[in-house]
A and B are shown apart, each in its own frame.
Chain A
């Protein structure tokens, strides 16, 4: 059982001069190592929710815990250094090179020069920028996508256990955004960071998150795995939000393991095999292109763990459709 990285206990936030609560009565536990996306329209309280974690905003009432400790009790700067922070506008320091930007916190922590240089090179490679070409550049010499890669590298410099990301890819063109999303998924798998990722893009939330928090009017509407959100929306609002994605989009984020039927593990079957991580969209494509009516699902060790039939696939899309109508 993973430890709880961040816990909200009945947290509310009301801005001065605002009549309504931006966030009200939020309770949530976020497990270490999970990738959580926080989805909502503007004004839903999703950004306020995120920014209370690193104390950019202070809650009006309630308590936030970091690995069991109330965050008010922790020294502010030290605590923030354990939490990577990436925002949409990136906020790179324009008077510093890429290298200096990424090395800001390591330098304050008094790492020696060699260690900083190694760390910078390692991080630039992680975000797919060649250290040789990029470390001496200034922010204005980078494209929007490259700037956000540097922003991501900078946030990870001191190896924080938690990353907060506020619509980091919101201002980036569609193709670059897809690449960045895929790279972020890889980075998360590799480093097992706990990520809280705010977005208003339903597709992005479903694609990136292991679990999704859906916020509306300052309250959490639903917190669950992507499959649960799509197949069992907790209320009308969630159903309507998810319905903005068409069936094909939804199939893209559903994984084989979430809808597969149990099967005798000793089955000897020549049917096509897919990984349990495969998207239903791929399986649908396969069905449409071939004359088969089922595929077998296998795990990492290549043993069969289930099967998906054409009828099952159809049922899984219907389920979502009926509920979201």
Chain B
């Protein structure tokens, strides 16, 4: 197994980078859609129910089915993979964005507008920092699941760590299967760890418990 690592070190790191690239790009595009959609549907209870139910149903479609479903549209390769990953992410990201903004105490919003904050100030100074922990939670869960689902994208020639897995399965060659599993699990674990640390920081900040220095810590006691 170790010999396999030394022998195919370069090829494996290429696949890892490719995997990261697919995940990163999908996450960016997902957020670009999900955050505005989450904010938009927050205005209407009816709309948010409809949109969330729709994404919920889409989320329940098996990934292989969705890949083959979109193949005629986007063809083989990364484009279809990213499209599918973006579609899957919408449910978690839209839901958490919506929940994040709805979780803010109404009195905070009323006091903010009452004192004369504009909608822009309200959003950036008050709503976003307070909704951030839940939004980041959504990003974390979506990233981890994207890392997993992206392995399956190898089936449609999108590349990434899935190549190791599927090649290994086809050739019945254990080291390949193992390395594919280990690398994607490690990637998911690391992504979770890093994003969780940001999330924790955002939670502390939103609660007013975050202290950058010792002096601040004393005041809080």
- Could you list which residues of chain A lie within 8 angstroms of chain B, going by C-beta atoms? 54, 56, 76-81, 83-85, 87, 89-97, 104-105, 108, 136-141, 151, 154-155, 158, 164
Residues of chain A contacted by B117 (CB below 8 angstroms): 77, 104-105, 108
- Inter-chain CA distance A155–B117, complex, in Å, is 12
A155 to chain B: which residues have CB within 8 Å?
115
Tell me which residues across on chain B come within 8 A of A81, comparing CB atoms.
115-116
Size of the B side of the interface (Cβ < 8 Å), in residues, is 26
- Bound complex: CA of A96 vs CA of B219, how far in Å? 14
Mask of B95-126 contacts with A, CB within 8 angstroms, 1/0: 00000000001011111111111100100011
Residue B129 at the A interface, CB < 8 A?
yes
CB distance from B138 to the nearest CB of A (A): 19
Q: Tell yes or no: B72 within 8 A of A by CB.
A: no
Query: Do the beta carbons of A94 and B216 come within 8 Å of each other?
Result: no
With the chains together, A158 CA to B115 CA distance in Å? 10
CA A130 to CA B205, docked complex, whole Å = 24
Question: Which residue, of A95, A136, A141, A151, has the highest number of chain B Cβ atoms within 10 A?
Answer: A95
- B208 contacts partner chain A, Cβ-Cβ < 8 Å: yes
CB proximity to A under 8 Å, residues B56-108: 105, 107-108
On whether the beta carbons of B114 and A93 are closer than 8 Å, the reply is no
Name the contact of B205 in the complex, choosing from A77, A85, A95, A105 (C-beta under 8 A).
A95
Q: Decide if A78 touches B116 in the complex (CB within 8 Å).
A: yes
Known: A56-B113, A91-B112, A139-B208. 9 other contacts (CB 8 A): A83-B116, A89-B107, A90-B107, A95-B130, A95-B206, A104-B117, A105-B117, A138-B207, A141-B219
Nearest-neighbor residue (CB-CB) of B221 within chain A: A141
Say yes or no for B220: interface residue by CB 8 A criterion: yes
Q: CB < 8 Å: which of B109, B111, B205, B219 contacts A136?
A: B219
User: Which residue of chain B has its CB nearest to the CB of A98?
Assistant: B208
User: Contacting A87 at CB < 8 Å: which of B107, B118, B220?
Assistant: B107
List 10 interface pairs A-B (beta carbons < 8 Å), by A numbering: A85-B111, A94-B108, A95-B205, A95-B207, A104-B115, A105-B117, A136-B219, A139-B208, A140-B208, A164-B114
Instruction: Find out whether the CB atom of A91 lies under 8 angstroms from the CB atom of B107.
Output: yes
Contact between A80 and B116, CB atoms less than 8 A apart: yes
Q: Name A107's closest neighbour in chain B (CB-CB).
A: B125
Residue in B closest to A139 when the chains form the complex, CB atoms: B208
Residues of A within 8 A of B115 (CB): 80-81, 84-85, 104-105, 154-155
Report the bound CA distance from A273 to B44 in whole Å: 66
